[in-house]
Structure 1
């Protein structure tokens, strides 16, 4: 499948020409279903009215609040809380979610988050539903199916989601990706936005031009 490339900052954001904004701590859940047979994941659509990433399809998630605590426990608590608020999925133990990745918004962007992504299987008997306000739609997708829907203009995705979907496309089942992630060391990924003339490109560490 053709690799998806992104230019420019995320919808609803602007480039920062001054001192970098301190990223806000955030957490997200990549909810999985399919067991040993297949791999599907849940995406929710943010309302078009949102000033930040309006109309974008994302993994359920949000900012860490003060009452969530500190450190890893706070990120786990926030991830599970946001999953329940945005997709009505409860009965997920924060201690059971599996850390998969950590992404930091580029310093060249005004609105920044330091987001910890966790994996969790869909609990038995749970049926995700959106609240109709913050999130207005949802869908189960294979990673490749979500990327193809984005390429066809059927859903709108942003850079971190696309990169996660590209990585998840390598796995054949939900159980396989959970096994892969268990006990794996997670290192932060901080893309950069490189502006050339009127074109802004998002680059990952190690890609040509990242350290220029």
Structure 2
């Protein structure tokens, strides 16, 4: 694992911070035999951002995600999604982007009525690959995106020390009936369903790499076992933007709001507030007591 962090990370405290691009991430969930399971994908090793990391499907908001076509091709967002909105990214555009990324990277798509067979999802993906627009394919099938199925979870902004930065809004999404989830074999090269504990265990054993937003999400979801509990837990999150601060210590680490090394003293989320880079992977640890830093 010693060679994984230089390949995945690009921290430089001397660079001028880049403006984060609006993005959306989907934490797809289903209830399995051993409890709640989450859908994960492996980013292509050559990806410019987090290449080779295991993540949740997601990506930047595209201009087409914010067009007026979605006024009729999608339902209203959840009320809480408005907390995510900004001047550059209205709640509907963020929610549409989340659904589109879930489709493109995970073959998962929530529609009104709740049932869209996996074979039909594959057909839509083929048409989009050929140049069709998602809203056109939905209109042709008289379908609408069910944006209300998305439950806001968290908002993470890439540290200022990173070259590529994103303002990513994370949403929970129950797996729609009849769908299975699978990677696109382009931006993502592998996918799997597993309990949060199982995914964290793989990271601990060094078989996969998780960035702190993914680890943090899994650590919180590991405390629940049912979909209803996950949705209730989401409702307890502040949704305030979490922008970790990179600290070039020995070892280096990322400090979240609430950590003594972060300029924001208030905790913005439950769970760990420090991720230390040890042997090529981030490990959640408590900050040392005062006087031992």
The answer, yes or no, to whether TM exceeds 0.5 is yes
* Cα distance between partner residues in 1 of 2:33 and 2:65: 33
Q: What are structure 1's unaligned runs of at least 5 residues? A: 1-7
Paired position in structure 2 for 1:82:
101
Cα separation, 2, equivalents of 1:98 and 1:78: 14
Q: 2:261 aligns with which of 205, 209, 212?
A: 209
- Structure with the bigger RCO (C-alpha within 8 Å, sep 6+) is 1
Q: Residue 184 and residue 163 in structure 1: after superposition, are their counterparts in 2 closer, same or farther (change >3 A)? A: closer
Post-superposition offset of 1:32: 0.4
Larger Rg: 2
Corresponding residue of 1:200: 252
Structure with greater strand share of residues: 1
Residue 5 of structure 1 corresponds to none
> Is the Cα–Cα contact under 8 Å of residues 110 and 149 in structure 2 kept in the other structure?
no
Per-residue CA distance 1:61-119 (angstroms, 9 max, x = gap) = 00001121141111101010000001111234223201011011111222111000000
- On the 8 A contact 1:28/1:116 being kept in 2, the answer is yes
1:45 alignment partner, one of 42, 49, 54? 42
Under a length normalisation based on structure 1, what TM-score does the superposition of the two structures give? 0.88
What is the total number of aligned residue pairs between the two structures? 204
The whole-number CA distance in structure 2 between the counterparts of 1:10 and 1:140 is 25
- Aligned partners of 1:37 and 1:200: how far apart in 2? 36
Say if 2:34 and 2:195, in contact at 8 Å, map to a contact too. Answer: no
Alignment partner for residue 125 of structure 1, among 154, 175, 178? 178
- The TM-score normalised by the length of structure 2 is 0.65
- Please tell me the root mean square deviation across aligned C-alpha atoms, in Å: 2.3
Q: Deviations over 1:31-60 (max 9, x none)?
A: 000189821100001111222211111000
Q: State whether structure 2 residue 57 is matched by structure 1 residue 60.
A: yes
* 3-state secondary structure, aligned to 2:248: strand
The secondary structure found in structure 1 opposite 2:35 is coil
Question: Is the CA contact 1:12–1:51 (under 8 Å) kept in the aligned structure 2?
Answer: no
* Counterpart secondary structure, 2:28: strand
Higher helix share: 2
Give the match for residue 158 of structure 2: 105
